[in-house]
Amino acid sequence: MTTLSNHSDETIYGEGDYAYTVSKSRFGLYTSILCSGDRMVSGSTLDGVVSVTDDIHIPVLRGTFDGYTSQSRTSVVDGKL
């Protein structure tokens, strides 16, 4: 993730055609908005919106999303109990 800052005190995330800003509504909802004006992801926290936009939404737009959002874990307990 590339984070740039422009002259209007808004932070620009991403790069190229997928650069976006995050705005906060008067009700506290954060929304990621492409620089072209298209709204993408809305959520209750800035970190959550940036994470979902970077990890899911933009890869879907690029066609590179593999469908997995978490790491697999094992349910086997090793060792002697």
Question: Hey, what are 24's tokens?
Answer: 């906060």
Q: What is the pLDDT of residue 29?
A: 96
Residue 18 has pLDDT above 70, yes or no: yes
Helices (H), the chain: 46-52, 58-62
Per residue in 64-75, pLDDT tens? 888 876 767 767
Angle, CA of 71, 69 and 33, to the nearest 5°: 145
How would you classify the pairing of strands 3-5 and 30-34? unpaired
What pLDDT shows up at residue 1?
A: 52
The domain locations on the chain are 3-62
Report the first-to-last Cα separation within the chain, whole angstroms.
43
User: pLDDT tens digit string along 22-49?
Assistant: 999 999 999 999 999 999 999 999 999 9
